[in-house]
Structure 1
Amino acid sequence: MTKNKDDLGFLSIMADKNEKNEFNVPGKFYVDSQCIGCALCASTAEGLFAISDTGCAYVAKQPASDEETALCTEAMESCPVQAIGDDGE
């Protein structure tokens, strides 16, 4: 988990690319170790996120279109524990 202060000095918590789940496929979106397995991402972006046998989410497929990128972004912004990241790579 990465903690940063925003422009107003409030603490924001975001996904940590150093804590990526081992099941993520390579690419810009990832799920980190803070995942609680709520499956919101998998229902928001079906086929792009999946749930492992351990109960944690992972990126099963990186987006290949603007529509899929928008779904991944929606899942990232909706994650209750901010375990989804976009490292831009």
Structure 2
Amino acid sequence: MGDRTLRYKDNVEGRWYTDQKCILCSVCAELAPANFREAQTNDHDIVYKQPAGETEELQCLEALEACPVEAIGNDGATQR
């Protein structure tokens, strides 16, 4: 799981984020395109929108589990 002390500043405010371990594989953006995308600096992915609703929440959880470097964080209870 992501490390909040390494959280990228360009993530949108909220409990989901990517951290500095991100290698820009973009698996998160493939699995949860409504919430993750490549940063403007083109060197990491970010959360650009916090999940809204169960579908987006589940997609973000799938991205977290699929991240090969554990760079996705979720600081809070999962909405159900």
TM score, norm. by length of structure 2: 0.89
Match of 2:49 in 1: 61
Q: Which structure is richer in relative contact order (CA contacts within 8 A, separation 6 or more)?
A: 2
Once the two structures are TM-superposed, the CA of residue 47 in structure 1 deviates from its matched residue by: 2.2
Match of 1:35 in 2: 22
Runs ≥4 in structure 1, deviation > 6 angstroms? none
| Amino acid aligned to 1:69 | E
Structure 1 Cα separation of the partners of residues 40 and 56 of structure 2? 24
Greater strand fraction, Structure 1 or Structure 2: 1
> Counterpart of 1:81 in 2: which secondary structure?
coil
| Amino acid aligned to 1:62 | Q
How many residues are aligned here?
76
For structure 1, the 5+ residue unaligned runs are 1-13
Alignment RMSD: 1.1
| Greater radius of gyration (CA) | 1
Q: Deviations over 1:17-59 (max 9, x none)?
A: 0111111011111100000000100011012101013320000
For structure 2, the 5+ residue unaligned runs are none
